[in-house]
Structure 1
Amino acid sequence: MKAVKKSLISGFALILLLTSCRNDKDMLNALADYNHSMEEKGYHLGDRLKLPEDVTDHAEAISISFGDKETSEMAIDPKFFEYGENKVTFNIRTKNGEMLNQDATINVFSKYPEQNIIYKVVAEYPHDPNNFLEGFLLEGNTVYESDGLKNSSQLIKYTLGTTRPIIAEKQPGHIFSEGCAIAGDKIYQLTYQNKIGFIYDKNTLKKLSEFPLPNEIGEGWGLTFDGKNLIATDGSNTLYFLDVNNPSKVVKKLAVGGYKDIYTQLNELEYHEGFIYANIWYQPFILKINPRTGEVVGKFDFTKITEENTKDDKEHVLNGIAFKGENMLITGKNWPKIYEMAVQ
């Protein structure tokens, strides 16, 4: 009898174990299917995660961890999530005491659609079509321009309405120059893959010093100044705020996102009256970004102008943003014109 009883207990335990394993597998499969469907669809800030019943019915506790953060709130809260891809791990404690883990990607978008900003072309100015433009600034009536490519990179200044440089500072042949920004009496300039930046005297364009790019920035793309920090892009959807007194130091990072798009490949930047304006590499759009949240609140569509200037070479992309009072100036790589827009 004892042997029979022991056999029955062992058999019952085996059934419980097999049932538990099957439930665990069903939970992970259901969660994987859910995560896959939502990765394609994405979430908006404020949304709640509605996990499958196969998961919630058998779970005692569920949390989401990413990096050094963890939350048991199944909501897309900006305290934990940022725009774009969030690589996370779901942690599930089952009702039978098992711990299950599953990696996932949660794509986060802004809560509100970005505004389509209306504009009107009010003036055109000549631009040197030989310049592979990377950075574009206007102060008063003086244009400061950073031009790229190896063996032809330079920083120049000229008067709006002309194309002849007042001063041109050529870079060594191995340098590929990128975005630039004015901060006080200095101009800061990034390089593409050389992992260094330059600081110049704004008036003479004489190089004052160099600095290593922060390790967080893989490549130098765009640069602007918000009155406190330099802000850089590296081809992702991240804005890097740099200490203007030590540009090798990242003060903070901010992910950018729209209602339906993550907006990677942010490129040339301009800061104007509390907003950051950014173009997207190979796209005819300029975004208006809230620098506190990373939300894209507005969007300019320059498709017609861009097509006119890229029909002979697709590399001649929109890549220059500046402001002349309240009007926006745009141009691009090897464009023959600068366009002045009245924003309506």
Structure 2
Amino acid sequence: MMKKVLFAATVLLATLAACNGNNNAGANNAGDTNSNGNAAPPVIQYAVVNKYPHDTSYFTEGLEFNKGQLFESSGGNADESPYPSEFGIADLKTGKVTPKVKLDKTKYFGEGITFFGDKMYHLTWTSHVGFIYDANTFKLIREFRIPAQEGWGLTHDSTHLIMSDGTSNLYFLTPDSVKLAYITRVTDNNGPVSNINELEYVNGFIYANQWETNYILKIDAETGNVVGKINLENLQKEANSLRPGADVLNGIAYNKETGQLLVTGKRWPFIYEIKVQ
């Protein structure tokens, strides 16, 4: 899709390139080691406990619970994409999304979303800006500058917003000013891990879709180390068999009140509730 073409052509800022080093999107199987003897992250087992319908018109970029409601964002542009560039409330009974904010597709390709306090934050892909809304009314409060070449995934811990840009970097931002506090690099036994996409913070760990793979990575939020991998290849195969044109795995949402963990993909026919070990 569009992201594949432009991502390959994007030249990262020199400071970010220096931070990234030589990224490696691939990873060894669990139990493998590199030349230094470091073990690969183990494969985390999971079980599907429920399936819900999903809006296949949505090119999913973000998925997040807020006050018991599931929110989803989609990305698209006017020239190349039929998909909406918006976010709204997803109904797990019908799969349909009720839009709350629609972006101008001639300007903005919508990306990740997250709620922090009484505000909702929304990234755009290559426009270098994000938006802050009132979390109750969805009235625009202001724009902010994204501290990277691109905006991809977004989540938060108790003190910071956490953003990805498709590299191995995780950007920790102050919620009020939306300024860069620090950068953590995602690494495994082979070094930096690139293509970090949609994010979800769960009890001290960051779960991240790795773009163009079937993996969700479990990342230690303090160190950036990948401590485990969930292989959702079977869900990807089912999505492809049931919905020709289903795209990559993308979308993780955790309901901290219930412990419910949801995953989906771009134009997938289902949102899956999974239980991990």
TM-score between both structures, scaled by the size of structure 1: 0.65
Query: 2: distance between equivalents of 1:305 and 1:109?
Result: 34
| Residue 164 of structure 1: how far off its partner (Å) | 3.4
Query: 1: distance between equivalents of 2:156 and 2:142?
Result: 18
Query: 2: distance between equivalents of 1:322 and 1:282?
Result: 19
Q: Does structure 1 residue 126 correspond to structure 2 residue 57?
A: no
Structure 1 residues 131 and 257, CA, compared in 2 at 3 Å: closer, same or farther?
same
Q: Which residue of 1 aligns with 2:26?
A: none
Query: 2: distance between equivalents of 1:329 and 1:182?
Result: 17
Please show how residues 200-219 of structure 1 align to structure 2 within 5 Å. 200-214=133-147, 217-219=148-150
After TM superposition, the runs of 4+ consecutive aligned structure 1 residues lying more than 3 A away are: 81-86, 107-112, 164-167
Q: What is the one-letter code of the residue matched to 2:96?
A: R
Structure 1 residues 149 and 166, CA, compared in 2 at 3 Å: closer, same or farther?
closer
Q: Alignment partner for residue 300 of structure 1, among 223, 230, 236?
A: 230
Q: Does structure 1 residue 343 correspond to structure 2 residue 276?
A: yes
Q: What is the one-letter code of the residue matched to 1:188?
A: Y
Q: Alignment partner for residue 211 of structure 2, among 273, 277, 281?
A: 281
Q: Which residue of 2 aligns with 1:252?
A: 182
Q: Alignment partner for residue 239 of structure 1, among 154, 170, 175?
A: 170
Structure 2 unaligned spans of 5+: 1-14, 24-33, 79-83
Q: Which protein has greater RCO, CA pairs closer than 8 Å, 6+ apart?
A: 2
Higher helix share: 1
Q: Residues 175-228 of structure 1, C-alpha deviation per residue, up to 9 Å, x if partnerless?
A: 1000111101211011000110001122222222111112xx110000101111
Query: 1: distance between equivalents of 2:35 and 2:165?
Result: 20
Please show how residues 1-344 of structure 1 align to structure 2 within 5 Å. 85=22, 111-151=38-78, 152-173=84-105, 174-214=107-147, 217-247=148-178, 249-260=179-190, 262-310=192-240, 312-313=244-245, 316-324=247-255, 325-344=258-277
Structure 1 unaligned spans of 5+: 1-66, 68-80, 87-106
| Residue 342 of structure 1: how far off its partner (Å) | 1.2
Q: What is the one-letter code of the residue matched to 2:193?
A: Y
| Aligned partners of 1:167 and 1:204 also within 8 Å | no
Structure 1 residues 212 and 110, CA, compared in 2 at 3 Å: closer, same or farther?
farther
Query: 1: distance between equivalents of 2:35 and 2:181?
Result: 23
Q: What is the one-letter code of the residue matched to 2:187?
A: G
Query: 1: distance between equivalents of 2:74 and 2:236?
Result: 19
Look at both structures and tell me which one has the larger radius of gyration over its CA atoms: 1
| Residue 289 of structure 1: how far off its partner (Å) | 0.4
Query: 2: distance between equivalents of 1:113 and 1:82?
Result: 22
Q: Which residue of 1 aligns with 2:27?
A: none
| Aligned partners of 2:20 and 2:169 also within 8 Å | no
Q: Residues 9-65 of structure 1, C-alpha deviation per residue, up to 9 Å, x if partnerless?
A: xxxxxxxxxxxxxxxxxxxxxxxxxxxxxxxxxxxxxxxxxxxxxxxxxxxxxxxxx
| Residue 168 of structure 1: how far off its partner (Å) | 2.7
Query: 2: distance between equivalents of 1:339 and 1:83?
Result: 32
TM-score between both structures, scaled by the size of structure 2: 0.80
Structure 1 residues 169 and 225, CA, compared in 2 at 3 Å: closer, same or farther?
same
SS at match of 1:116: coil
| Aligned partners of 1:133 and 1:332 also within 8 Å | yes
After the TM superposition, which of the residue ranges 187-196 and 301-310 deviates more from structure 2? 301-310
Q: Which residue of 2 aligns with 1:4?
A: none
Q: Residues 60-110 of structure 1, C-alpha deviation per residue, up to 9 Å, x if partnerless?
A: xxxxxxx9xxxxxxxxxxxxx988549xxxxxxxxxxxxxxxxxxxx9999
Q: What is the one-letter code of the residue matched to 2:134?
A: D
Structure 1 residues 195 and 262, CA, compared in 2 at 3 Å: closer, same or farther?
same
Structure 1 residues 266 and 108, CA, compared in 2 at 3 Å: closer, same or farther?
farther
- What fraction of aligned residue pairs are identical, expressed as a percent? 41
